[in-house]
Amino acid sequence: MPKKGKPLKPKGIQKTSLSPSPLNTKRKRPPPSSTPAPLSKKYQLLKCLKSKKIILSLLAILIVVLGFLVAGAAYWYQCPQKNVKTVVIIEKGSSLSQITSTLTQHHILDFPLLFKGILLGTGQWRDLKAGEYLIPPSVTPAQVLYILISGNVILHPITLIEGETSHHLVQKLRENPYFQGVCDVPPEGSLLPETYHFPRGTSCQKIVIRMQKAMEEAIATIWSTRSKDHPLRSPKDLLILASIVEKETSFPQERPLVAAVFLNRLQQGMPLQADPTVIYAFTQGKGELGRDLSRQDLSVDSPYNTYRNLSLPPSPIANPGIASLKAAANPADVSYIYFVANGSGGHIFATTLQEHQKNHTEWRRIREKKE
């Protein structure tokens, strides 16, 4: 019997829930993820190691290739080229490409781009100097670079001969193809005769200044070593006397004797009677007289006519050399006051007029015999 007060539940009937039954509804799947599933740590490590091996292999190949290139460039840099001896001119302001092109045109480089690359890589292209260079045969690119950096350009000679006039020197400079520009004729006697060397393109004025400086130094040194009680009172007078000595004789042993003759005549109040001074009165150093002096020439009214004037001419009549300057500063200790040609290029010296007239007669006989 059921207990009182509690209604009986019918069998087979269960209390239902408000939510739908899982048997009657479909389960929704989550949307697929946009990111791949994470790889395992082991797989990631293997992949990283493989990438590193590839990179290292490529680097190794690159290093080997670069090594071969560097070795090849180094070998070529020291390898003699197949060039012949030649002269190249690197103009001022030339670029590296222009310089390389010039070298190539002269068949000095067989790989100009490699040469250019080496200079760009080392920065040595900044040290290249303009000028005219002598390139020896079978030169190496390294030697070419050294030559162009050294600045050891070709030097061209210009010679001022002892006794040459300033006007003639300027003419030679104007006709010289290696030098450029124009210059005024410098004062006579202001240039030191010598062989000078200058690079192509040097201005004529610069050459003249160099010669003048050399003479200033020479005359200052020689004047300081002049003999005691020397009758001349200034370096200018010494220069004038030396120019006359230079034109009178070309024999070194005669220069001190000729200088002594002129100084003895000055001290005795006698005219120098030097033919070269009379010739200069006519030519002014611009050329040759082209004939022998006549008796009429010896009376020409000119301060350079030492047959009429008792002193030195007002300026030098040529550019004397070192030997004549030294002879004028230290004349021979002799009493000669005359000299005349001996017929063989030299002179015969005399102390008295009687001796001189005898020597002069002999000279006329020799000259007539030659004619």
**DSSP H helices in the chain:** 41-77, 96-105, 112-122, 141-150, 166-175, 204-223, 235-248, 255-267, 275-283, 322-329, 353-370
Confidence of residue 13 (pLDDT cuts 50, 70, 90): very low
Residue 18 banded pLDDT, cuts 50, 70, 90: very low
Quick one: which of 250, 307, 229, 223 has its CA closest to 273? Answer: 307
Query: Are 211 and 166 contained in the same domain?
Result: yes
Domains in the chain, number:
3
Same structural domain, 241 and 328:
yes
| Among 219, 244, 263, residue at a domain's last position | 219
Q: Are residue 162 and residue 194 in the same domain, yes or no? A: yes
**Nearest to 260, CA basis, from 330, 175, 208:** 330
pLDDT of amino acid 12: 47
- Structural contact between residues 221 and 202, judged by C-beta atoms closer than 8 angstroms: no
Give pLDDT, residue 345. Answer: 86
49 within some domain: no
| CB contact set of 281 (below 8 Å; sequence gap of 6+) | 300, 302, 303, 304, 305
Domain region containing 119: 86-150
In a domain, 22, yes or no: no
- Region 162-173: mean pLDDT is 96
Q: What is the pLDDT of residues 293-340, one digit of tens each?
A: 999 999 999 999 999 999 999 999 999 999 999 999 999 999 999 999
Per the domain annotation, does 67 fall within a domain? no
Asked whether residue 14 carries a pLDDT value surpassing 80, the answer given is no
35-49, 108-122, 209-223: range with lowest mean pLDDT: 35-49
Please check whether residues 136 and 92 belong to one and the same domain: yes
> Do 364 and 235 belong together in one domain?
yes
Give the whole-number percent of the chain exceeding pLDDT 90: 71
b/e sequence 268-303, b meaning 16+ C-beta within 10 Å: eeeebebbbbbbbbbbebeeeeeeeeeeebeeeebe
pLDDT, position 146? 94
Same domain, 145 and 160: no
Query: Domain check: are 249 and 345 in the same one?
Result: yes
Distance of CA 94 to the CA centre of its chain: 17
- Single pTM value for the model: 0.77
In a domain, 51, yes or no: no
Kindly report the CA angle at 216 between 210 and 222, in degrees rounded to 5? 135
Taking the C-alpha atoms of residue 322 and residue 312, their distance in angstroms, rounded to an integer, is 20
- On the question of pLDDT at 58 being above 50, the answer is yes
